[in-house]
Chain A
């Protein structure tokens, strides 16, 4: 049972345009969400996060939006750069003892020069 779903396995965008990466979750207990970026042969690196008390969090070119009623979040990258080409994982967790991260399958983003 996949609790965090990234239904699109890949996305290709032109340099300078917006990249929108989507993520859905099923567990209503999740109240904290993170995006990780992964280059080949490297471990995932933290990118941006959002708490369920917010509906938007922005950090430079990266913005994460959270729609709790739809159990949906999205990562916007504006403008997209070739160096953004990587696999992006959505992850979720919940407040409480022994909380752990549950990851989606990831989306491969390709930014074309």
Chain B
């Protein structure tokens, strides 16, 4: 069974530029998550989708971050414009749904903003 796929693996951009990350979840997984992991911290949930609907985006900085999950499968996360403090690993995860189901993570995209 294929895992969660993310691209790109690494990205370096200048501040004020824009960037987009892509995620393809495990087939059949209804729930998709985007997490931000800053160095030395645990993953922090940015947004959670159930199929193609947003169920939690309370910690998403909506003035610069946006995410969509068209057709309830793939998802993209965009940052525009980027700030230095956005440097982090962006992790996508998916799960079948339900509290007793663990989430499966992709390898992440390491973003460096200079």
Interface size on A, residues (CB 8 A): 30
Chain B residue, CB-CB nearest to A105: B42
In the complex, A103 has a CB within 8 A of chain B: yes
Return B24 CB to nearest CB of chain A, in Å. Answer: 13
- Residues of A within 8 Å of B40, CB to CB, are 105
Interface size on B, residues (CB 8 A): 23
Return A77 CB to nearest CB of chain B, in Å. Answer: 18
Number of A-B contacts (CB under 8 A): 59
Which B8-32 residues have a C-beta within 8 angstroms of A? Answer: none
In the complex, B64 has a CB within 8 A of chain A: no
Return A97 CB to nearest CB of chain B, in Å. Answer: 8
B39-54 interface code vs A (CB 8 A; 1 in, 0 out): 0111111001010000
- Residues of A within 8 Å of B105, CB to CB, are 36, 43-45
The distance in angstroms between the C-alpha atoms of A51 and B44, with both chains bound, is 22
Would you call A43 and B99 a contact (CB within 8 A)? no
The distance in angstroms between the C-alpha atoms of A97 and B105, with both chains bound, is 21
Chain A residue, CB-CB nearest to B58: A100
The distance in angstroms between the C-alpha atoms of A19 and B35, with both chains bound, is 28
**Contacts A/B (CB < 8 Å), 12 sampled:** A34-B102, A41-B107, A42-B108, A46-B103, A46-B104, A49-B100, A89-B43, A96-B99, A100-B48, A101-B33, A103-B43, A104-B42
